Structure 1
């Protein structure tokens, strides 16, 4: 179907982004007035600009000496807005290859609360001081279907979020959400149950994506439907750590809200303060659980 002219877009639906025609949007670049989606919009002093106008040094572009263009959440605009997502996928793949090559490595990376169980003194696990497992388990996968599904989700959700938040904020969201998933698994799951996978961090991206779409008044039905499907799988399939999924999801919603709703005048303080607050709660929960197991 041919694209309808702007004068009749109310009858035909919202226009598509000039870079992603399949994405409907009601937001336009304040300089060239082309339609832009959340992945393409760059925060300006007034409204949003498109990437082409930001990169341009003359004409309709960003004027020299003007304030530095920012992403929707205040991050710095970069040439490759998906770089961190690519690096995270690369790290997960490298760990997967290493585990497949040396299977004994798996036991040193997974999340394990304590082994052997009480009343014996733990000699392995987080409770015995192996805190690194809370992080290394976020990058560890054993089955090909597991890493394939998680990396596909990371690419699909992570790319647009990184573009909207900026690299540093996106990385903070990913790590704190992943740690929240590990923490809830450590707190509620059996201490002898090995937990692994990037699902906690990815559910955090789900939560933040929902918050971002709500902030931009986008149709929430696609992301809600996808989230519901994933939650059904979480609670209906055996062998899935629902604790990690729920922990990551809750952290993602909280941090995502702080990222996209922070007032402009103290945006950085609110955004990183939210991350620090969530992180502090996680540290307390980890210490409480460790006391229970030792």
Structure 2
């Protein structure tokens, strides 16, 4: 079997796990170089080295001027929204984020394409920053690199929820779990950390906003199962389209006659607000039909 056929088979098998048809934004799953992914990882590494150097020669500068804070927003330090999204709270924080970004980002950039993968990462970073500003105390400072990584994780789980991933605890003990369960765990952990750790310099407060941004961005691109709100909107659109197609006879039999029978028994006070609106709409439609004829 040719390599192209193997790639296509791998692509179709994984995409079926999303529980929904492939989005129109889906790219062909190729083994091309992940340019945006490698650029983001390089940027995070470079910023971390610069962060260490700045802290060495000017302690407190990163926290006061580069991390996102309520004071910085009040003082119009607009650059904090850009600088904070690449800051990490230590080497282990950096290592964990870059491992997740690399192993999940390879497939995700191939699925979404370079442009949407970059937008996803930036949307997660901004979502994490906004979540921090709304949910954390005013005296806290955010090192927000985890927001973009959280968005990548949740978007991956939204697109391929049933895909089994293998991780190694302490690089030794294998742990197999589905992508959706990994996203559930990350979301629960974000909520728990948000409640118990509200210290002055934090990084975890970007998780929750990043998760929300990743889920929303994936759904806007057409991936994942439809949410309750989307199903409700679809039902309303279908009902409105059906109502427009109904003839006068169908309208009388299905909509007006049951309401008239109810009025004859209980009077107008027996109608609900929804039924009164339906009666008014039916009257307007009948008038429009008669005038057009």
1:228 to 2:175 alignment: no
The answer on 1:166 being equivalent to 2:131 is: no
What is the count of residue pairs matched by the alignment?
197
Partners of 2:7 and 2:87 in 1: how far apart? 45
Q: Which residue of 1 aligns with 2:44?
A: 92
User: Equivalent of 1:150, from 93, 97, 111?
Assistant: 97
Q: 1:97 to 1:225 in 2, by over 3 A?
A: same
Distance in 2, Cα, partners of 1:148 & 1:102: 20
Change (3 A) 1:168 1:40: farther
Q: 99-108 or 236-245, which moves further after superposition?
A: 236-245
Whichever of the two has the greater Rg, that structure is: 2
Deviation of the 1:192 alpha carbon? 1.6
Please state if 1:35 is matched with 2:9: yes
Partner of 1:62: none
**Compared with structure 1, are the counterparts of its residues 38 and 171 closer, same or farther at alpha carbon in structure 2 (3 Å cutoff)?**
farther
Q: Which residue of 2 aligns with 1:111?
A: 68
Change (3 A) 1:139 1:112: same
1:161 to 1:182, Cα distance in 2 relative to 1, 3 A: same
Higher relative contact order structure (alpha carbons within 8 Å, sequence separation ≥ 6): 2
Residue-by-residue CA offset, 1:130-160 (whole Å, 9 max, x unaligned): 1221221110114111101111111112111
Residues 72 and 147 of structure 1, relative CA distance in 2, 3 Å threshold: farther
Measured after TM superposition, the shift of residue 256 of structure 1 is 0.6
TM-score by length of 2: 0.58
Counterparts of 2:145 and 2:209 in 1: how far apart (Å)? 12
Deviations 1:54-86 (A, max 9, x none): xxxxxxxxxxxxxxxxx9725588873411111
Task: Tell me if structure 2 keeps the 8 A contact 1:40–1:163.
Answer: no
Secondary structure of residue in 2 paired with 1:102: helix
Q: 1:97 to 1:72 in 2, by over 3 A?
A: farther
Indicate the larger mover: 237-246 or 105-114: 237-246
Query: As a proportion of its length, which structure holds more helix?
Result: 2
Whether the 8 Å contact between 1:72 and 1:164 is mirrored in structure 2 is: no
CA deviation string 1:75-106 (max 9, x = no partner): 58887341111100101111110111121341
Task: Provide closer, same or farther for how the CA distance between residues 143 and 242 of structure 1 changes in structure 2, counting only shifts above 3 A.
Answer: closer
Q: Which runs of 5+ in 1 are unaligned?
A: 1-16, 20-27, 42-46, 49-70, 115-124, 263-294
Of the three residues 259, 280, 283, the one matched with 2:221 is 259
Please give the per-residue CA displacement for 1:32-66, whole angstroms capped at 9, x wherever unaligned. 8962236999xxxxx99xxxxxxxxxxxxxxxxxx
Where does 1:52-201 land on structure 2 (aligned, <5 Å)?
73-74=25-26, 80-103=32-55, 104=58, 105-107=61-63, 108-114=65-71, 125-201=72-148
SS of the equivalent of 1:37 reads helix
C-alpha RMSD of matched pairs (Å):
3.5
Instruction: Give TM-score scaled by structure 1 length.
Output: 0.57
Say if 2:160 is the partner of 1:213.
yes
C-alpha distance in 2, partners of 1:39/1:129?
49
C-alpha contact 1:111 1:134 (8 A) present in aligned 2: yes
Consecutive unaligned residues in structure 2, runs of 5 or more = 16-20, 166-176, 225-293
Q: 1:245 aligns with which of 207, 214, 222?
A: 207
Q: Report the Cα offset of residue 200 of structure 1.
A: 1.0
